[in-house]
Structure 1
Amino acid sequence: MDMSEVLSFHKGALYDLPGDPSADVYLLPVSGGADSSALAILMHALFPNHRFEMVFTDTLADDPSIYETLNKLERYLGREITRVAPDRGLFELIDHYNGYLPSPQARWCTRELKLVTFSKWIKQYEGRQKWMFVGIRADESGRLAFTIDEVETVMPFIDMGMRREDIFSVLDRTIGIPKLYRVRSRSGCTVCPFQRRSEIVGMLQEKPVEFVKGMKYEKLAPADASRHPTAIPLHADSGISSNWLTLPMPASGQITGRRPKKAMPSLFGEKGIFVGAEFFMDGWLSNDEFIWHQRVVSYSPTLAGISQQLDDRYRHLLSTGEVYGLSPEEVRSKVRFAIYYIELSDEVFDPEPPKEKGYTWQQGSSYRQVQHIVSYATRALHAEGMRQEASKRARPCTVQEEWVEGSRNGLTKIKHEVGHVAVSQWYTASEEEPVVSEAEELALLPCPMCHL
């Protein structure tokens, strides 16, 4: 898409630069996320001869795909993005504060990494009229924007009536959708304390190096650290290659409220957990469906909890499905969710959160606990997938027979705990936004400065 095509997305609404373009300073903060990147593309398309001061405030702990997006944006626009960094990055500051981690209640990270750094940089324009362009869309006018002394904040997307679909269309046809939206809902640090549990699970799956680094900065009591070992991957135990392992197909029908509301202690020394998974379906020229993407999304001790997380994930995919090459309608027709109730021996599986006081990124949960639950849940589901494959009948001398025999042989080699799937059914996620109390909304509201 060239710049003339980009202009078609601004709804034909007239938009003029505020102030005096010959004397004022026009700031375009870019975070590496969708909205700020699309805004930079649009403003340069509307005013190709005007100079915008594009700036990225680095935390030195941002998601790796953010830096990829910034590089793509520079190449596309042919203009440099000023990158400013703090004296100490996030992890250096944690060391400086003796391991004290930021949290929704102690948001020192935003102040130290974003506000202080940006304020120092902007002093070069002291005494001049400054306009800051922020990528808040027309469909999210309730979202907060940051304010800074001597700076006027403007929101062109709202003025031009641009919504989510417009922003992602611009990106999809120019620099591409930032990869972080595969599992994350916003840009920012890899270990941001405002992430949902499903986002942390996604980091474990897609960015294990960043996950392990974040886990090392949590401080747990020795007893809690020893309670959550990582399960042996089933491919290492069964001899079956990891790309041949699959999640099991749920039973027909939808999971209902008649199922267990909460994981209960078992009389047989087992502990259970609800696990949610996603499947992306497709077909060639026939009606035969095949799965081209599958993964564990998250977990919860309650059915209501995992249902809510899958609803959140579904709404996120409807908003950002382009990162997978899917339109909203394709998400509705091709994405399916499953809920499983998994039980494992309490000798190896302990899904309970840390019991003693420590420092973790999120209250009541630790990265080690997340890794423990996801690794054992994935192992249990892969084992059930092998059992399903092994139970099939296949014609002799076919590749299907090889799969069946491979699964049967692999099951005989397993020596460590795999547990069992007590419940498995499909789940229809909801598009309706949940009702959230004001207190809950404030507790989860990230600082607007974090989008710089």
Structure 2
Amino acid sequence: MDMSEIRHIVSQFRGCYQLPGNPERDVYLLPLSGGADSTALAIVMKLLYPGIAFEYIFTDTGAEEPEIYATLNELEKFLGKPITRIFGGKGLYELIEAWGGFLPSARDRWCTRALKLEPFREWLTKYAGIQKYMFVGIRADESSRIAFTLDEVTTEMPYIDLGVRREDVFRILQASVGIPRYYSRRVRSGCSCCPFQRRSERAGLLQAKPIEFKRAMSCEKLSPEDAQRHPEVISFSQESGVAPNWMTLPLPAKDRMVGRAGRKDSLSLFADKGVFVGAEFFFDSGLVGDEFIWHQRIVSYSSSLTGIKRQLQDRYKHLLTTFEAFHLDSADEVRQKVRFAIYYVQAPSDVFDPDGPTAPGTYTWHAGESFRQMEHVIGWSKRILHAEGMRQQVAKYEGAKETSWAFEQHESSVAALKAVVGETGQVVDSMWFAAQEPTPDDESELDERFMACPLCQL
């Protein structure tokens, strides 16, 4: 923890903030979500006003990302003061079960109300009749976002006056308590199953924490018709016997759309269905200068090329400020080492259905999209891409000397492909995607219908 660096960052803020009220008689509240904005705000206010006795409060939903608790513990060390932790008695999943499977959504935000606001209001009754100020981390680059309010509480947004933007928040965290690891796949904090997550965030949850994904999936109610449309997919690794960490995604040809159909291992009378898939690769150089990939994964998917490009552009912008969560040292390393690929993949419609649920009687976390559907689409995308990646390995090492490692790689890849008897679909097109550098004013427009309460996600 570099205190001089943290103080230097705070000293560079473009504005100034005047603490309201009378510190001798008023109460100063700083609710924490365990996310980046509220954590950094607690650090900033501690440095700007070291003599003020802020009350730090975290309201637990019982479905938080595990790394949130680690961040709170580190923050307590920095503040030199315990954080009050409130739990309403029942967590999110317990309330869903008690309420007959009623899921929270953009139309009914009962999760924030029942798990955050009501326990917080109850805790606040001990300060009834006292002037209270509550500090929330709405940043200068999202100043149009609505903050939550409470009776007898004045809401303050210091970041607005200070000119603190997203990049400032993560610089503060990098120099102090660190960036929570879940930011490697999420753009905000919240419950692991939060209905306000983007598709790319849910895809990250599926790949990083499949047990938590399955738990969220079990809460959805699908009609028999919708349930049978998205069966679980046998992975290429399971069928070929190749360990998952030895699997590779195919690399597009340089600087152009490939525009070719991949081989199909079986024939079908059913028409193909397709989807655009985006993936990320982290490249590095070995001791002898050979380039190698040390991280690769599917970021998300979309029914349109424009949609997947937008998701990858947002992903790039996120990586530039949260590089520490990926074991990188700077935003420049992101620019140098991270590349994005886009594929259009297809498989016969009797086994692959990328479309969302439509039948009456289906209730999901996200309208028109289910966790089971995502598991199905990502599963098939991986199967198709891993098969094509194996074919690339075969072609790459064709003709290698029998005594070489390359020959062994070729033979094992051939054997893996022969072991797979089921459908593997095809990669119709692939390309590298060059993300654009974001500008200081390149903040996405916020739609309040799809943003959770700041008490959850700041």
TM-score by length of 2: 0.90
- Alpha-carbon offset, residue 330 of structure 1: 2.6
1:445 Cα deviation (Å)?
2.6
The counterpart of 1:158, out of the listed 157, 160, 169, is 160
Match in the other structure for 1:263: none
Please tell me whether residue 411 in structure 1 is matched to residue 417 in structure 2.
Answer: yes
Q: Distance in 2 between matches of 1:175 and 1:397?
A: 51
Is 1:347 matched with 2:350? yes
- Structure 1 stretch 63-72 or stretch 423-432: which is displaced more? 423-432
Alignment partner, residue 320 of structure 1 = 322
- The CA distance in 1 between the partners of 2:416 and 2:240, in whole Å, is 5
- 1:15-414 map, 5 Å: 17-255=19-257, 269-284=271-286, 287-324=289-326, 325-357=328-360, 358-393=362-397, 394-414=400-420
Cα distance in 1 for residues equivalent to 2:122 and 2:165: 33
Structure 1 window deviating more from structure 2 (423-432 vs 10-19): it is 10-19
Decide whether aligned partners of structure 1 residues 326 and 422 sit closer, same or farther in structure 2, where only a CA change above 3 A counts.
farther
Change (3 A) 1:339 1:152: same
Q: CA deviation at 1:288?
A: 3.3
Q: 1: CA distance between counterparts of 2:29 and 2:429?
A: 54
Q: Relative to 1, partners in 2 of residues 1:355 and 1:62: Cα closer, same or farther, differing over 3 Å?
A: same
Deviation by residue 1:192-211 (Cα, 9 ceiling, x = unmatched): 11111111100101111110
> How far has the Cα of 1:20 moved from its partner?
1.6
- Shift in Å at residue 398 of structure 1? 2.9
The answer as to whether partners of 1:278 and 1:335 remain within 8 angstroms in 2 is yes
Report the AA paired with residue 341 of structure 1. Y
- Residue of structure 1 in register with 2:8 after alignment: 8
Give the direction of change, closer, same or farther, for the CA distance of 1:388–1:255 in structure 2 (3 Å limit). Answer: closer
Q: 1:445 aligns with which of 435, 446, 451?
A: 451
The alpha-carbon deviation at position 155 of structure 1 amounts to 2.4
Equivalent pair of 2:141/2:443 in contact (CA under 8 Å): no
1: distance between equivalents of 2:166 and 2:260?
37
Once the 2 structures are TM-superposed, how far is the Cα of residue 216 of structure 1 from its aligned partner?
0.3
Quote the sequence identity (%): 53
The one-letter code matched in structure 1 to 2:44 is L
Indicate if the aligned counterparts of 1:247 and 1:384 stay in contact, CA closer than 8 A.
yes
Deviations 1:410-445 (A, max 9, x none): 1111122211111111112234588978xx823323
**Structure 1: 4+ residue segments shifted above 6 A:** 433-437
Counterparts of 1:124 and 1:67, CA distance in 2: 25
Structure 2 CA distance for partners of 1:103 and 1:259, relative to 1, 3 Å: farther
Question: CA offset at residue 94 of structure 1?
Answer: 1.4
Q: Please report how far the alpha carbon of residue 190 of structure 1 lies from its aligned counterpart in structure 2 after TM superposition.
A: 1.3
Other structure's SS at 1:41 match: helix
SS at match of 1:54: strand
Whether the aligned pair in 2 keeps the contact of 1:230 and 1:376 (CA below 8 Å) is no
Q: Deviations over 1:232-274 (max 9, x none)?
A: 1212111111111000001222459x999xxxxx986322111
The 1-side partners of 2:222 and 2:321 are apart by: 36
TM-score (norm 1): 0.91
Question: Residue 254 of structure 2: SS of its match in structure 1?
Answer: strand
Shift of 1:389: 0.4
Q: Which moved more, 1:288-297 or 1:46-55?
A: 46-55
More displaced stretch, 184-193 vs 246-255:
246-255
Separation in 2 of the partners of 1:193 and 1:397?
54
More deviation, 312-321/20-29: 312-321
The answer to whether the 8 A contact 2:278-2:342 is kept is yes
Distance in 1 (alpha carbons) for counterparts of 2:408 and 2:217: 40
Task: Give the residue type in structure 2 aligned to 1:156.
Answer: P
| Distance change >3 Å, CA 208–CA 259, structure 1 → 2 | same
Which string of whole-angstrom CA distances, capped at 9 and with x for unpartnered residues, describes residues 375-417 of structure 1?
1110110111110001123344333332222111111111222
Contact 1:11 1:162 in 2 (8 A): no
Contact kept? 2:145, 2:448, Cα under 8 Å? no
Structure 1 counterpart of 2:222, one-letter code: L
Structure with bigger RCO (C-alpha 8 Å, 6+ apart)? 2
Between 103-112 and 84-93, report the one with greater CA deviation: 84-93
> Contact 1:7/1:46 (CA < 8 Å) preserved in 2?
no
Could you tell me which amino acid in structure 2 is paired with residue 9 of structure 1? I
Aligned equivalent of 1:421, options 427, 437, 440: 427
Preserved CA contact (<8 Å) 1:310 1:337: yes
Distance 1:326 1:140, change over 3 A: farther
Amino acid corresponding to residue 327 of structure 1 in structure 2: S
The gaps in structure 2 that reach 5 residues or longer are 262-267
Once the two structures are TM-superposed, the CA of residue 18 in structure 1 deviates from its matched residue by 2.5
Deviation at 1:138, TM superposition (A): 2.8
The question of whether the paired residues in 2 share the 8 Å contact of 1:255 and 1:427 is answered with: no
Q: 1:27 to 1:279 in 2, by over 3 A?
A: same
